């Protein structure tokens, strides 16, 4: 049960972080925000790791850790570029495919499996998330391709995170991942001649920064016992519910009746996603 608690804390923290990032994005460029969050998180991870009992990672840690970092960096660059090229409301629904990607890759690399009912719940959730976000009818071109790449990278990245975390603690992993992603983003900004200077005061990011680190660490702790595909499914489910509710309460957005129906479907699928029932097991390979 403790790992389910980690998963739900992580999912709620991701929701709060996304809402905070949405608010900050009214005044800051997405790339500048992403760089600031990664650089800002680095001292938090370093301090927590220094005070913890975690040791330097074993040699088996580094190959999957670097792959995870590369995938995360590619996803960050692709996500920012897709947002610049296309309407965010039209391209973000593609990210609903991430749980499927995670489940398939985890089946190959970790031999994780889902029951038939879990597969059904996940697939229904993916459709419901897309429906709640307006569907994918009008997505095409380069923004779609970039967001599909982001989905593949995030879906694969969590699997490599799990492989790396077999040989390291989450705090040390946070140091490595954050440093690598921040370095790639700074290089990308330099090569693309993009400004990464914050327009407002940096201390406005501090609350969101702590929530960001909490979300990531709790997610990695949940991965110790929970399948990668289930982690992604529950995280995406709670994330879209929180985004829609937050949009109504904070940003005065309106929900369509169809969105409310899709939200109910998502809510019903969440407990089924992580319930291990004695039903046929469907492997991802």
Backbone phi, psi, residue 169, to 5°: -85, 165
pLDDT, tens digit, 9 for 90 and up, residues 138-151: 556 677 788 889 99
Q: Which percentage of the chain shows pLDDT scores above 90?
A: 39
pLDDT, tens digit, 9 for 90 and up, residues 174-183: 999 999 999 9
Q: What is the pLDDT of residue 277?
A: 39
Q: What is the pLDDT of residue 135?
A: 64
CA distance 102 to 135: 21
User: Which of 13-17, 232-236, 269-273, 281-285 is the least confident region?
Assistant: 281-285
Are 48 and 212 spatial neighbours (Cβ–Cβ below 8 Å)?
A: no
Q: Which residue has the higher pLDDT, 16 or 239?
A: 16
Q: Is the dihedral of CA 40, 158, 72, 154 positive or negative?
A: negative
Q: What is the pLDDT of residue 88?
A: 59
Average pLDDT for residues 43-60, to the nearest whole number?
92
Q: Which percentage of the chain shows pLDDT scores above 70?
A: 89
CA distance 97 to 152: 8
Q: What is the pLDDT of residue 90?
A: 63
* 280 pLDDT above the threshold of 50: no
Give 285: exposed, middle or buried? Use CB within 10 Å, 0-12, 13-18, 19+.
Answer: exposed
* 42 pLDDT above the threshold of 90: yes
The pLDDT confidence band at residue 214, using thresholds 50, 70 and 90, is very high
The pTM for the full model equals 0.87
* 111 pLDDT above the threshold of 80: yes
* 197 pLDDT above the threshold of 70: yes
């Amino acid at each position: 049960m403790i790992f389910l608690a980690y998963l739900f804390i992580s999912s709620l923290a991701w929701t709060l972080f996304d809402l905070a990032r949405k608010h900050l994005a009214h005044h800051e460029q997405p790339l500048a925000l992403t760089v600031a969050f990664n650089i800002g998180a680095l001292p938090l991870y370093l301090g927590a790791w220094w005070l913890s009992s975690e040791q330097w990672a074993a040699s088996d840690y580094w190959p999957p850790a670097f792959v995870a970092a590369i995938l995360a960096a590619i996803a960050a660059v692709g996500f920012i570029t897709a947002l610049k090229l296309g309407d965010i409301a039209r391209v973000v629904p593609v990210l609903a495919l991430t749980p499927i990607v995670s489940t398939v890759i985890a089946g190959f690399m970790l031999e994780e499996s889902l029951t038939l009912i879990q597969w059904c719940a996940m697939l229904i959730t993916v459709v419901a998330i897309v429906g709640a976000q307006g569907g994918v009818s009008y997505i095409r071109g380069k923004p779609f391709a970039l967001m599909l790449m982001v989905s593949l990278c995030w879906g694969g990245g969590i699997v490599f995170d799990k492989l790396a975390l077999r040989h390291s603690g989450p705090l040390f992993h946070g140091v490595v991942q954050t440093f690598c992603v921040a370095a790639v983003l700074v290089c990308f900004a330099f090569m693309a001649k993009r400004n990464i200077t914050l327009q407002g005061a940096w201390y406005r990011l501090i609350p969101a920064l702590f929530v960001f680190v909490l979300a990531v660490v709790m997610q990695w702790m949940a991965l110790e016992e929970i399948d990668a595909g289930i982690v992604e499914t529950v995280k995406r489910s709670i994330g879209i519910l929180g985004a829609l509710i937050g949009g109504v309460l904070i940003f005065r957005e309106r929900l369509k009746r169809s969105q409310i129906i899709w939200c109910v479907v998502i809510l019903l699928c969440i407990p089924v996603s992580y319930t291990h029932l004695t039903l046929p097991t469907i492997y991802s390979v």
